[in-house]
């Protein structure tokens, strides 16, 4: 029997939207037959900044038991899903700092030929969702990784409308992660696991 695809879901979330999507991706990945690690990256913001925002402080406490990602998790994985809120149309500092720690693996060609994909959230409509995913994928090109996006490979993708990856508009917390976003996440996870399985079997 073929060994299952090893999927790492590595994300940063300040108030919970990205974590909620990450959990949906996790469940879909498990259902697709993958061995999945749900991981967060380290928080860089000072405690005073976190405590100044009740939603941020509450989420920071709620995810205390989610393990922090390490470079070894990326090396372990056949596929990696990176998640981040948009920060001025770009990747959050917290996720970018983690990606910057992968230089040692990159130098030893241990990031190549893995499958990578991304997911994102913004406070308002558009607001840099696609720009953030494209910025994230710049790093994957340097890794020699295989970028797998959902595209419009399922009719539902014409509902959520983002071929670059799963995305959600949270309206500063007013719009919880809905079924449109959850379905998009399931499509993305299933595609990532399937393509990673093909790549793994051909290696």
Q: What is the pLDDT along the chain (203 residues), one digit of tens a residue?
A: 479 999 999 999 999 999 999 999 999 999 999 999 999 999 999 999 999 999 999 999 999 999 999 999 999 999 999 999 999 999 999 999 999 999 999 999 999 999 999 999 999 998 999 999 999 999 999 999 999 999 999 999 999 999 999 999 999 889 999 999 999 999 999 999 999 999 999 98
β-bridge partners, 11: 40, 83
d(CA 198, CA 33): 13
Q: Which of 71, 66, 163 is nearest to 108 (CA)?
A: 71
In the structure, how many helices (H) and strands (E) does the chain have? 9, 7
Topology of 6-202 in CATH?
Rossmann fold (3.40.50)
Length of the chain: 203
Q: Are strands 6-11 and 35-40 parallel, antiparallel or unpaired?
A: parallel
pTM of structure: 0.96
């Amino acid at each position: 029997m073929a060994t299952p695809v090893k999927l790492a879901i590595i994300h940063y979330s300040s108030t919970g939207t990205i974590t909620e999507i990450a959990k949906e991706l996790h469940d879909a990945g498990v259902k697709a037959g993958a061995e999945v690690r749900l991981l967060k990256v380290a928080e860089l913001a000072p405690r005073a900044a976190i405590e100044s925002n009740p939603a941020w402080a509450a989420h920071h406490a709620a995810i205390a038991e989610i393990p922090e990602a390490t470079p070894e998790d990326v090396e372990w994985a056949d596929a990696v899903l990176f998640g981040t809120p948009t920060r001025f149309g770009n990747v959050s500092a917290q996720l970018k700092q983690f990606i910057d720690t992968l230089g040692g693996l990159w130098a030893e060609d241990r990031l190549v030929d893995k499958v990578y994909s991304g997911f994102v959230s913004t406070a308002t409509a558009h607001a840099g969702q696609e720009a953030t995913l494209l910025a994230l994928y710049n790093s994957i090109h340097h890794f020699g990784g295989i970028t797998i996006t959902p595209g419009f490979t399922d009719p539902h993708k014409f509902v959520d409308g983002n071929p670059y990856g799963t995305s959600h508009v949270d309206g500063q917390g007013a719009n919880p992660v809905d079924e449109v976003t959850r379905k998009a996440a399931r499509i993305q996870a299933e595609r990532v696991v399937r393509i990673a399985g093909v790549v793994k079997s051909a290696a």
